[in-house]
Structure 1
Amino acid sequence: MTSVTRRQAIGMAAAAASSACFSPAYAQSLKKPKVAYTLLFAPGGEYGWDYEHVRGLQQARDVYGDRVQIDAFHEVAEWGNGDKEKFQELVDDGYDLIFTTSAGYMRSAVEIAQQNPNVMFECFDGYIRAENISTFNTRWYEGRYVEGFLAGSMSKNNRVGYLGAYPIPQVIRGINAAYLGARSVNPDIEFDIVWLNTWFDPDGERSTALDLLDRGADVLMQHTVTTAAVEVAQENGIYSFGQGSDMSKWGPDAVMTSMINNWGPYYTRRIGEFLDGTWKSEDNWLGLGQKMVSMGPLLETLPNRTVLQAEDLITRLSSGEQHPFVGPLRRQDGSGWLAPGETASESDLLTMDYYVDGIASVYPSEG
């Protein structure tokens, strides 16, 4: 006798309901599907990583209403046993589809998924897939290229200060894309990169941003979570960018644009596929063209020419007409990478562990 998954059972029950006499007692016997999200850092808030995930899952709630129960679980530990215990708890509590929102959750999620094949998992920034494990990511580097273009256009000191969280491929891709975007319009641009080795440290981000200003930066960029760098830019009359969500509220005169994680369309589609029984394991890596990445409003005080150029750049990146990584390009150590006209492969992008030629900051050593 073949086994029946929880998802198939839900579909079979729905089909039976359509052909049987409906009664309140029968309705109560049907289990409402449950979807869970594990989130980091803070209970939602007004900006940043968690905020955009919550906004995305709310869009899915608005679409599906009472058909599905969608819950968010905040401040879930990663990189340890705490997340594994949480995933097991969610399985025990009857959640059918679980979204993880950080690369640090992947290994624990995979372990629990393998033990519970009837539960579906969607792992952000994951690379391990199975019949009940899917992966998804965003092409932030496209938005970073736009930010780099604006930084290179508006910097007077030719020096950009960059706050990095962890030296992992997704952050390195963004730094390289931003540098190439800046260099495309300003060949004298320099990047001063500092690693915080944390996603969330308001005090550390503020002090690092101030140090970067003292070292000559007049534009701040970040791949960290808080608005600290944006606030420092606002207070000191320089430019910055929102990270993960629209942060212009905290830097109305400083934020040239924001790179926004737009999760709603993806969450709505995947939950819909789960509900109608068509969900399957996939690897989804989407960007500006699929609106999983979007750019916030451009600062009104930017020169008209710069605004028009930035808008055109966004259009070309969205359509695929332009790609941030096209040769000739070399690595920071001088070794060859992309020949003239050659575009970086998906493998190159996913495993990027080097700076491109021209970045003077020392690449972080392992450990």
Structure 2
Amino acid sequence: MNRRKLMASLAVIPAIGLATPVFAQEEPLKVGFIYVGPVGDGGWTYQHDLGRQAIEEEFGDRVETTFIESVPEGADAERALSQLALAGNELIFATSFGFMDPVINVAAKFPDVKFEHATGYKRAENVATYDARFYEGRAVMGTIAGRMTESNKIGYIGSFPIPEVIQGINSSFIHARKVNPDVEMKVVWAYSWFDPAKEADAASALIAEGVDVILQHTDSTAPLAKAQEAGAIGFGQASDMSNFAPSPRVSSIIDNWAPYYIERVGQVLDGTWESKGTWAGIAGGEVEIGEITEAVPAEVKEEALALKDSIASGEYHPFTGPLNRQDGSEWLAEGQVATDEELSGMNFFVEGITAKIPE
């Protein structure tokens, strides 16, 4: 049938009363993600991708998701974000701190696209930020570390010297010291979020200094592998990393992004999305404490879980005075609690940490 005959036949259908209205199927909401590491890193990126999968499970064919993995922070991030926007994604999640300026730059070019940036602080009308209070989980890990160390030397592998990481180092140390006043903390910087070789070298350097408990704010399982070789213990970072349980991985801090992602996608779908900043923790379910294995004595496990519960209830804040800065000057008086503004700009170590923050 040629086009003229087709149109003529369609024209008579209403007259004989046989037609029912036909509406075009609503297109699915396209949601894009960029990841700083590979989805198989077993840590940070893996958890974000679980959140992406949770969106698909929750909304089915109402959404269509895609991701670009292993995106370096900088110009490459701008290209990846632009690629997702040009591909028709109406909501884009950028899941690493160093994507902050690329998000702001690309968002200005695509005002009709909504952007969400993880762990950043710059917002715009179409840019929201979201973060988790990782320092709450670090307090619990620090408690276990302080109880479990035999050498009284615990180590911390930092990624970059930004407030989020400095908060974690301070919180871990404060709570290790609370249960073990003889604890020393060694800090090594990897200057990468995900680089197994650098992370392994950092763990080896700490072990060479007598460290027998390793914490990390980097994304691979390489430090746990080194701890296993040396007979040290460690903790899962961002994800459970349960392949290393019951030891050296004796517990973990888990980032659960799924509830947030589901909430925000739902708000785009129902038209209620707005730019805002979100910073949730243990109480909000974004920070979880993984299984505490049998390698940890029962009384230590009980102590750690009690701390978790007191943080969740709001009874206790991990940064409660008296606390001094590294140089001995007073920071928080007895009973005083750090404000979110102080924490979000934290650029100093607390008293007792001898390591220096790189300039």
Superposed, which structure 2 residues align to 1:33-52 within 5 Å? 33-42=29-38, 44-45=39-40, 47-52=42-47
Amino acid at match of 2:60: G
- Alignment partners' CA distance in 2, 1:50 and 1:204: 18
1:247 has 2:241 as partner: yes
Give the count of matched residue pairs: 340
Q: What does residue 124 of structure 1 align with?
A: 118
CA drift of 1:301 comes to 2.5
Q: What does residue 54 of structure 1 align with?
A: 49
- Equivalent position SS for 2:105: helix
- Equivalent position SS for 1:226: coil
Identity value in percent: 43
The partner residue of 1:310 within 267, 292, 304 is: 304
- Equivalent position SS for 1:212: helix
Deviations 1:258-313 (A, max 9, x none): 11110101101110111011111111001110110101100113211111111111
RMSD of aligned C-alpha atoms?
A: 1.3
- Alignment partners' CA distance in 2, 1:98 and 1:178: 33
Asked whether the 8 Å contact 1:329–1:339 carries over to 2, the reply is yes
Q: What does residue 350 of structure 2 align with?
A: 356
- Alignment partners' CA distance in 2, 1:347 and 1:69: 37
- Alignment partners' CA distance in 2, 1:269 and 1:22: 33
Q: What does residue 70 of structure 2 align with?
A: 75
1:133 has 2:127 as partner: yes
Q: What does residue 12 of structure 1 align with?
A: none
Q: What does residue 24 of structure 2 align with?
A: 27
- Alignment partners' CA distance in 1, 2:28 and 2:285: 30
Q: What does residue 340 of structure 2 align with?
A: 346
Asked whether the 8 Å contact 1:163–1:208 carries over to 2, the reply is yes
CA drift of 1:130 comes to 2.1
Gaps of 5+ in 1: 1-20
CA drift of 1:207 comes to 2.1
Q: What does residue 193 of structure 1 align with?
A: 187
TM-score in terms of structure 1 length:
0.90
Asked whether the 8 Å contact 2:245–2:293 carries over to 1, the reply is no
Asked whether the 8 Å contact 1:234–1:252 carries over to 2, the reply is no
4+ long deviations beyond 2 Å: none
Superposed, which structure 2 residues align to 1:85-164 within 5 Å? 85-164=79-158
1:219 has 2:219 as partner: no
CA drift of 1:46 comes to 5.6
- Equivalent position SS for 2:353: coil
- Alignment partners' CA distance in 2, 1:207 and 1:218: 15
TM-score in terms of structure 2 length:
0.92
Amino acid at match of 1:321: E
Superposed, which structure 2 residues align to 1:161-172 within 5 Å? 161-172=155-166
Asked whether the 8 Å contact 2:246–2:295 carries over to 1, the reply is no
- Alignment partners' CA distance in 2, 1:221 and 1:126: 23
Gaps of 5+ in 2: 1-19
Which shows bigger deviation, 300-309 or 57-66? 300-309
- Equivalent position SS for 1:54: helix
Amino acid at match of 2:163: P
- Alignment partners' CA distance in 1, 2:189 and 2:351: 19
Asked whether the 8 Å contact 1:231–1:251 carries over to 2, the reply is no
- Alignment partners' CA distance in 2, 1:335 and 1:129: 33
Amino acid at match of 1:106: M
CA drift of 1:86 comes to 1.8
Superposed, which structure 2 residues align to 1:229-248 within 5 Å? 229-248=223-242
Which shows bigger deviation, 145-154 or 232-241? 232-241
- Alignment partners' CA distance in 2, 1:126 and 1:213: 32
1:267 has 2:264 as partner: no
The 1:22/1:265 distance shift into structure 2, 3 A limit, reads: farther
Deviations 1:238-259 (A, max 9, x none): 2111111011313432112111
